[in-house]
């Protein structure tokens, strides 16, 4: 059966006219629209408010030098309806998880439930961080319970809530490992990291002063055991590992991997980026991991937030708890208090960490409960495997957990991703991991329905059949067209207004 997509062409926003194209797949319907303001020229854009209507007002005298002042100022002067429509149009040019699927691989862009925003916005959540512990017992109790929740989910004995992001948690975890070795009088200089690992793993180890030993993957996309045995030795401080890995594959030999690292005196570090695949079904601590960080913006649905704020709690085994950051929360005599662990690595953030984000994490875990978390991971795995079966691109390896990596083949993965924007969906992560040529790294999460996945697969398959010319010109429908990425990166013009060449 054929599927007819109705795409709204780039026409004046009050007169959208559908442009259609047909795909061979099951019947569905997707509406795609980016509302636009149109002036008298051929260019369609959303002008500044002052370009629509403005009023010139005189500026009062100022003690500042004349070359820093103006005699008059042109201010926007739109009517309220035009003001409302202006910002509505701008919002329609954006794409977020509320707009549709957001299948960025290794990002877990699941829907952020709005009830957690209500919890974090409560007036009694806005405590002053310098208040005495005796006056904030409820807050400290919640922190202690969240430490316990995360510890039980990850199989860890102690958890700090201090790190303000996933990468910060990663760095904190490696600093804890370093403090552990130094406390034992053991000077180790290397951290082993698989070639499929997230880039932050390499950066973290280097920032902590370690030499990075890159570990090649085996033919099955997993850790090459022989290569690991050759890489690990007396200088090994830790092996940093993601499980499932960035190909969406579970490390079946993880217990053997743990034995190899531990027999050499090293620690096993768990990158929690892909924990969403395991919730309620497997725990890193039970696999032999000694340290881990939790990406709460992935696994526990706190917003990614355009780069912040975030939170990256770190869990450790009992023998590493003495090195946790200061302050930590504990229960003593029926009360809760901040305290400084015996051999703490010191502060990594101020006060309670990123408290509103942690509050959302607590609310999400408490609302879903054990069964809800198990269900979330089951659906995340089901959705990834279903979508992998529906798309026409080659998908090596498998079966998968939370994500998969397809190959764009003869197409340039970046061009394919840009073309997907024309079909009204967000593209996957591209060109990584490099184990797969022209990688399209895709993670649909548990948030998507079968209908949503079918529409996403239809977009993938439409792009797979597009010509080189169509790909080279993409995207053509969104407000922002193709840009010269190389020039933009090498010569940034960080201004909201045009700058002359001088």
- Grade residue 76 by pLDDT with cuts at 50, 70 and 90: confident
Inform me whether the pLDDT recorded for 245 exceeds 60. yes
Report the pLDDT value the prediction gives residue 97, as an integer from 0 to 100. Answer: 86
| Cα 242 to Cα 237: distance, rounded to the nearest angstrom | 17
Task: Give the closest residue to 279 by CA, choosing from 395, 149, 182.
Answer: 149
Inform me whether the pLDDT recorded for 186 exceeds 60. yes
Q: Dump pLDDT digits (tens) for 438-475.
A: 999 999 999 999 999 999 999 999 999 999 999 999 99
CATH of 115-367, one of 3.40.640.10, 3.30.700.30, 3.90.550.10, 1.10.357.10: 3.40.640.10
Inform me whether the pLDDT recorded for 4 exceeds 70. no
Inform me whether the pLDDT recorded for 337 exceeds 60. yes
| Cα 212 to Cα 219: distance, rounded to the nearest angstrom | 22
- Grade residue 37 by pLDDT with cuts at 50, 70 and 90: very low
Report the pLDDT value the prediction gives residue 293, as an integer from 0 to 100. Answer: 99
Task: Give the C-alpha distances (Å, rounded to integers) separating 301 from 109, 156, 358, 360, 424.
Answer: 8, 21, 11, 8, 23
Report the pLDDT value the prediction gives residue 29, as an integer from 0 to 100. Answer: 35
Inform me whether the pLDDT recorded for 483 exceeds 70. yes
**Residue 232 exposed, middle or buried by CB count within 10 Å (0-12, 13-18, 19+):** buried
Report the pLDDT value the prediction gives residue 496, as an integer from 0 to 100. Answer: 65
Q: Is the pTM of this model over 0.95?
A: no
- Grade residue 498 by pLDDT with cuts at 50, 70 and 90: low
Report the pLDDT value the prediction gives residue 380, as an integer from 0 to 100. Answer: 98
**To which residue do tokens 């932050």 refer?**
200
Q: What percent of the chain has pLDDT over 70?
A: 89
Between β-strands 190-194 and 429-430, what pairing exists: parallel, antiparallel or unpaired? unpaired
Q: What is 373-490's CATH topology?
A: 3.90.1150
Q: Dump pLDDT digits (tens) for 95-129.
A: 888 889 999 999 999 999 999 999 999 988 899 99
| Cα 150 to Cα 156: distance, rounded to the nearest angstrom | 8
Task: Give the C-alpha distances (Å, rounded to integers) separating 221 from 134, 193, 394.
Answer: 52, 14, 15
| Cα 98 to Cα 116: distance, rounded to the nearest angstrom | 15
| Cα 196 to Cα 205: distance, rounded to the nearest angstrom | 15
- Grade residue 383 by pLDDT with cuts at 50, 70 and 90: very high
| Cα 385 to Cα 377: distance, rounded to the nearest angstrom | 13
Phi, psi of 404, deg, nearest 5: -145, 165
Report the pLDDT value the prediction gives residue 71, as an integer from 0 to 100. Answer: 86
Question: What's the whole-number mean pLDDT along residues 160-188?
Answer: 97
- Grade residue 502 by pLDDT with cuts at 50, 70 and 90: very low
Cite the DSSP H helix spans in 77-208: 80-92, 115-120, 137-154, 166-183, 199-207
What is the rounded average pLDDT for all residues in the chain? 89
| Cα 388 to Cα 392: distance, rounded to the nearest angstrom | 9
| Cα 234 to Cα 188: distance, rounded to the nearest angstrom | 7
Report the pLDDT value the prediction gives residue 194, as an integer from 0 to 100. Answer: 98
CA 379 to chain centre: 19
Inform me whether the pLDDT recorded for 1 exceeds 50. no
Question: What's the whole-number mean pLDDT along residues 237-241?
Answer: 99
- Grade residue 501 by pLDDT with cuts at 50, 70 and 90: low
Report the pLDDT value the prediction gives residue 49, as an integer from 0 to 100. Answer: 82
Parse the chain into domains and list their residue ranges: 115-367, 373-490
């Amino acid at each position: 059966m054929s599927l007819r997509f109705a795409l709204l062409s780039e026409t004046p926003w009050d007169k959208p006219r559908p442009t259609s194209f047909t795909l061979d797949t099951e019947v569905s319907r997707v509406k795609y629209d980016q509302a636009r303001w149109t002036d008298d020229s051929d260019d369609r854009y959303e002008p500044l408010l002052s370009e629509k209507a403005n009023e010139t007002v005189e500026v009062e005298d100022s003690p500042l030098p004349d070359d820093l002042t103006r005699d008059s100022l042109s201010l926007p002067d739109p009517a309220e309806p035009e003001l409302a429509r202006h910002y509505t149009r701008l919002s329609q040019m954006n794409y977020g998880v509320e707009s549709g699927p957001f299948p960025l691989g290794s990002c877990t862009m699941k829907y952020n439930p709005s009830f957690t925003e209500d919890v974090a916005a409560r007036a009694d959540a806005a405590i002053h961080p310098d208040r005495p512990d005796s006056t904030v017992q409820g807050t400290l109790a919640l922190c202690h319970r969240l430490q316990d929740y995360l510890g039980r989910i990850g199989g860890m004995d102690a958890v700090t809530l201090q790190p303000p992001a996933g990468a910060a948690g990663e760095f904190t975890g490696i600093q804890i490992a370093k403090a552990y070795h130094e406390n034992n009088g053991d000077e180790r200089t290397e951290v082993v990291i698989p070639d499929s690992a997230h880039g932050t793993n390499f950066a973290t180890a280097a920032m902590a002063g370690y030499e990075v030993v890159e570990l090649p993957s085996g033919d099955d996309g997993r850790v090459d055991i022989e290569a690991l045995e050759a890489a690990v030795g007396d200088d090994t401080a830790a092996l940093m590992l993601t499980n499932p890995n960035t190909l969406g594959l579970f490390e079946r030999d993880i217990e053997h991997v743990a034995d190899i690292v531990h027999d050499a005196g090293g620690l096993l570090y768990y990158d929690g980026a892909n924990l969403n695949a395991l919730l309620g079904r497997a725990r890193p601590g039970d696999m032999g991991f000694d340290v881990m960080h939790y990406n709460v913006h992935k696994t526990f649905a706190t917003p990614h937030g355009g780069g912040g704020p975030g939170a990256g709690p770190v869990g450790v085994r009992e023998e590493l708890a003495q090195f946790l950051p200061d302050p930590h929360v504990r229960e003593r005599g029926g009360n809760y208090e901040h305290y400084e662990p015996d051999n703490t690595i010191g502060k990594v953030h101020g006060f309670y960490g990123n408290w509103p984000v942690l509050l959302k994490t607590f609310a999400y875990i408490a609302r879903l409960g054990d069964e809800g978390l198990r269900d979330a991971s089951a659906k995340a795995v089901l959705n990834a495997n279903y979508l992998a079966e529906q798309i026409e691109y080659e998908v090596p390896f498998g079966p998968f957990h939370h994500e998969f990596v397809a190959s764009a083949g003869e197409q340039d993965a970046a061009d394919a991703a840009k073309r997907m924007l024309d079909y009204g969906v967000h593209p996957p992560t591209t060109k990584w991991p490099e184990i797969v040529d022209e990688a399209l790294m895709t993670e649909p999460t548990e948030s998507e329905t079968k209908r949503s996945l079918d529409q996403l697969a239809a977009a993938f398959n439409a792009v797979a059949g597009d010509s080189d010319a169509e790909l080279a010109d993409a995207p053509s429908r969104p407000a922002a067209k193709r840009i010269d990425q190389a020039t933009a990166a090498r010569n940034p013009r960080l201004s909201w207004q045009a700058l002359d060449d001088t």
